[in-house]
Amino acid sequence: MKQSALRARYRRIVGFFARVTASFIWWEIILRRLGLGRLADRTRTRRNARTAARFRVLAISMGGLMIKVGQFLSARLDVLPVEITDELSGLQDQVPPEEFAAIHEVALAELELPLAEHFAWFDEEPLAAASLGQVHRARLKDADAADLGYADVVVKVQRPHIQQVIEVDLAALRRVAGWLTHYRPVASRADVRGLVEEFATTTLAEVDYLAEASNAETFATNFADDVRVSVPRVVWELTARRVLTLEDVSAIRIGDHDAISAAGIDRGEVATVLADTYLQQIFVDGFFHADPHPGNLFVTPQPGAAPGEPAWRLTFIDFGMVGRVPDTLREGLTEALIAVGTRDGARLVHSMQTLDVLLPGADLALIERATLQVFERFGGMSMNQLRGIDHAEMMRFGLQFRDLMLEMPFQLPQNLLMLGRSIGILSGMCTGLDPDFNIWGTITPYAEELVAEEGGSTARRVLTEAGKIAVVALGLPGRTDRVLTMAERGELTLGTPLLTRQVRRLERTIRRTNGILVFAAVLVAGALVTGADPLLGRWLMILSVVPLLWTMMTGRGGPHGR
């Protein structure tokens, strides 16, 4: 690929994000410092949606990593507003296919012989074309088919020059990440440079097809005893770093709800099995499929299944993106799962601390109260029921915990990024399969098993109302002792955060008003004397910038500054 084309690509990506950054500075910093924050607030949702739509167009036209960046951003609900994530959520990794001659050259370089020497038939029309590679159907030669027990395969071939494109795209993203580290609301919630490096690591792993083949076999081994799950077998003799050959397991896409129903398969059962498999992947195997979008999952009917065997199987494909859950992370996730399953707010807050999900200084007591209210009001509801909740009910909840809603003291650590994205996609698929799918019905039995494994009868009693009362009663002596100790040491204080914020906001308003008045006075004076003394007039207008800058730099701006 020509260097001029790569440089133009870099400039286009950086230029887009530079324009977005400039727009953000103007609307969210400069106008707010000048006391025009309400104007920025009124137009923010529309501006964000327009920016996301423009990025969507850019991503589709450029391919490369940009589509994956859009998919990545659509999962960042902790950092980005919902109008952006919604606009990007439907971004599919589908781009125009590469010319077959170019694909054949890559395959020839990797397999060392023409495709006709390896396959009895090879379809030149791609089955699917993505940003990093494309997939073709093929048929093995008779001898190979006899040895392996199947003939139909799919061959995934990497796009030519994709490594160069990835390097350029990552260089542009690292440049943009450097800018974002200077914006505290983003930097405080995420290690932006770390996220880019995590994204880079994941992407580079995706273009190593030998690693993907190994991932598929690891997944198959983990589910070897589960007759409900299947994984395509790898043809290792026809697999290399840029070419991957797998058994063709095409069946009903999990997103084709009508076809699933037409096959006589209970969609609610499919949703339950899908959720079950992810509980095992996360909490047992510590190894999970990190890209569970509808194109990577099939529902495979099993006609003539023997008694006791399932009438269908859940088939996973495309293991280029996988995640691993280290023991320390798994412990925190297990704690969180038990807390949700047992409706234990204190335990859930503790698990959030263990997982490093809470920002420093978060009000733990307030979060615990909000969590308990969520369990009490919404626990046990299906997603369909949650969507039907009265708007006034949600408003009352929001007003009750308005400080928490304003602060949003949560972050998504780097090691939870892929897992959070996978769970988000998984939730949407389960609800699509069955609008009445109730995740509580899946989590609660699993949580009960984990509680039983803990061997703690007290923890298990939390599952009942009597258990809740017992836990609170058991905690009272310790809490009383801590309060008395703080009082004796003179450390017990009563905070008035709302009053403090109002006073500080008033101080900032006064400083901004004074600065704006001085700026306007000097600017108008310069304009008035320009006719009589152009030199003095120009100097006065130039000097008016000083109080303007002072106004912009005074205090902490932003909608939630304190």
Using an 8 Å Cβ cutoff, are 562 and 556 in contact?
yes
Calpha distance 67→90 (Å, rounded): 11
Q: pTM here?
A: 0.70
Using an 8 Å Cβ cutoff, are 266 and 299 in contact?
no
The pLDDT of residue 459 is 41
Task: Inform me whether the pLDDT recorded for 302 exceeds 70.
Answer: yes
pLDDT in tens, 248-293: 999 999 999 999 999 999 999 999 999 999 999 998 899 999 988 8
Handedness of CA 273, 275, 279, 280 (dihedral sign): positive
The continuous run of DSSP H or E covering 297 comes out as strand 297-301
Highest mean pLDDT of the ranges 176-185, 392-401, 485-494? 176-185
CA count, 13 A, side-chain hemisphere, 150: 13
pLDDT in tens, 18-32: 999 889 888 888 888
pLDDT in tens, 505-553: 555 555 555 555 555 555 555 555 455 555 555 555 566 555 555 555 5
The pLDDT of residue 344 is 86
Residues 125-138, mean pLDDT to the nearest whole number? 93
The pLDDT of residue 87 is 85
Q: How far is CA 73 from CA 18, 58, 79, in A?
A: 17, 14, 9
Alpha helices (H) in 288-401, listed in sequence order = 327-342, 345-354, 364-378, 383-387, 391-400
Choice between 92 and 298, residue whose per-residue pLDDT is larger: 298
Count Cβ atoms below 10 Å from residue 349 Cβ, excluding itself: 24
The pLDDT of residue 82 is 79
The pLDDT of residue 520 is 55
pLDDT in tens, 194-226: 778 878 888 888 899 999 999 999 999 999 999
Q: How far is CA 156 from CA 166, 215, 234, 239, 297, in A?
A: 18, 15, 12, 9, 17
The pLDDT of residue 348 is 87
**Which residues are CB-neighbours of 203 under 8 A, at least 6 positions away?**
65, 68, 132, 166, 170
Q: Residue 493 corresponds to which amino acid?
A: T
Highest mean pLDDT of the ranges 110-124, 175-189, 418-432? 110-124
Calpha distance 272→68 (Å, rounded): 28
